[in-house]
Amino acid sequence: MTPTPKVKPTNSELEILRVLWDRGASTVGQVHEVLAAKRDMGYTTVLKMLQIMMEKGLVSRDDSRRQHIYTAAAGEQSVQRQLMRDLLDKAFAGSAANLVMHALSAKKATQQELQEIREILDRLEGESK
Amino acid sequence: MTPTPKVKPTNSELEILRVLWDRGASTVGQVHEVLAAKRDMGYTTVLKMLQIMMEKGLVSRDDSRRQHIYTAAAGEQSVQRQLMRDLLDKAFAGSAANLVMHALSAKKATQQELQEIREILDRLEGESK
DNA sequence: TGCAAATTACGAAACAATTCGTATTTTTGC
DNA sequence: GCAAAAATACGAATTGTTTCGTAATTTGCA
C-alpha cells in the first residue's frame, strides 16, 4: 500500500509529483528541466517547492550526496483516490456515474481504454451479484 | 447550453455553487443556513463570497427586492467538465480510463449507474468506428 | 590550497483565498 | 415619521500559495 498523505497537494505540488511519479527519483535540476519545458519557472522556485513538500511529507529525499535526490512519498494511487473523492463530493454530489460520464466526454479515450473500462465494469458487476 | 465560466471556481466557491445547484435560486440566508450546518461559517462570509462570485461571473443575482436572490450562472455540467479536464491533466496524466477506474472504486456505483456507463461506452465506441 | 561553479538554505515579496468586523442602507411595524 | 431589525457593502486582517533574489555551503580541480 502506498501511504496516504495527510495533506492534499496544491496544484503546483501536483505538477511536481507528476514529474516524480513519471521519472522516479530525481534531482532538483531534473524536475526543473521538465517543468521549465512547459512553463516559465525558476530553478530556486522548484527547489523551494520541494523543500516545502518535504516538510509536508509529500516527498522524501536522500541528501547523502552532493545533489539531493527527491522521491514522491505520496503514492500516485493514493493521491488520485484522494483527489477523486474530493472532487466527487464537492462537484459531483457523490455521483460516480455522473463523474465517469464527464470524464469520458472530456477527453476521448482510445478503443483500448474503453475496453479496459468495460473490464472494470464486468468485474464490479460480478462482485455485486 | 450552460455557459462556461471564465474562471475555475475555488473550493469555497464550489461549495456555494453546490448549494445553488441543489436548491436553485437562493438568498444569502438560505445558502448560509445550508453551509453553516456543515461547518462554521459566518453570515457575512457567505455574503462576501457571493459578491465576489458575482464579480467573477459565477453567479447572477436579482436585487430588485429586499433580499437579493442568487443563482448559479455557471452551469453544473460545464463546471464539472472543466474540473474534470483539470484533474485529468494534473493528476491522471490524461488517462481517462485510469481516472474512471479510481472513480468507480472510490465510490460504489449502483447497478443502474453501471448500466448507464455501459451505454456511454457503447455510444462512444459507435462514434469512433 | 583556494577559486569557480554548482547546489542548497533562507527570507521575504507578490498574489490569491478566506474570513469577519463594522458601516451603511433598506424595510417594516408601531 | 422613526426606531429596531434585517439586510447589504466595504475594508481589512489572516492565512495559504507561489515565486524568486541573495546568502551560504559544498565540491572539484587548477
pLDDT tens per residue across span B40-50: 899 999 999 99
pLDDT score of B5? 67
Per-residue pLDDT for A55 more than 80?
Answer: yes
B9 Cβ contact list (under 8 Å, min separation 6): B17, B53, B58, B74, B79
pLDDT score of A23? 95
For residue B92, which residues of chain A lie inside 8 Å, CB to CB? 80
Closest CA to B31 of B71, B79, B58, B78: B71
Q: Are B115 and A118 in contact (CB under 8 A)?
A: no
pLDDT score of B50? 97
Q: How confident is the model at residue A58 (pLDDT cuts 50, 70, 90)?
A: very high
For residue B80, which residues of chain A lie inside 8 Å, CB to CB? 91-92, 98-99, 102
List the single residue in B105, B109, B128 with the smallest CB-CB distance to A97. B109
pLDDT score of B99? 86
Closest CA to B104 of A76, A66, A48, A116: A116
B14 Cβ contact list (under 8 Å, min separation 6): A90, A91, B79
Report d(CA B21, CA A105) in Å as an integer.
Answer: 21
Q: How confident is the model at residue B68 (pLDDT cuts 50, 70, 90)?
A: very high
> Tens digits of per-residue pLDDT, A15-43?
999 999 999 999 999 999 999 999 999 99
Domains recognised in chain A with CATH numbers: 11-75 (1.10.10.10), 77-128 (no CATH)
Give how far A63 is from chain B: nearest CA, Å: 27
Q: How confident is the model at residue B120 (pLDDT cuts 50, 70, 90)?
A: confident
Side-chain-side CA neighbours of A75 within 13 Å: the count stands at 7
Backbone angles phi, psi at B27, to 5 degrees: -85, 165
Report d(CA B71, CA B62) in Å as an integer.
Answer: 8
How many residue contacts between A and B have a Cβ separation below 8 Å? 141
Q: Give kind and range of the element (H or E) at residue A70.
A: strand A69-72
Nucleotides of D under 7 A from a protein CB: 7-12, 16-22, 26-28
Report d(CA A108, CA A23) in Å as an integer.
Answer: 25
**Protein A65 CA to nucleic acid D30 C1', in Å?**
24
Supply the DSSP string of B22-51, one letter for each residue: HH-SEEHHHHHHHHHHHS---HHHHHHHHH
Provide the residue count of chain B.
Answer: 129
**Protein B66 CA to nucleic acid D4 C1', in Å?**
17
For residue B108, which residues of chain A lie inside 8 Å, CB to CB? 96, 124, 128
Q: Which residue has the higher pLDDT, B77 or B108?
A: B77
Side-chain-side CA neighbours of A14 within 13 Å: the count stands at 19
Report d(CA A73, CA A56) in Å as an integer.
Answer: 10
Per-residue pLDDT for B1 more than 70?
Answer: no
Report d(CA A68, CA A70) in Å as an integer.
Answer: 6
* Residues A103, B99: C-beta atoms closer than 8 Å: yes
CA-angle at B112, arms to B107 and B115, nearest 5°:
100
pLDDT score of A4? 64
Closest CA to B84 of A115, A45, A18, A99: A99
Distance between alpha carbon A44 and the CA centroid of its chain, in Å?
A: 22
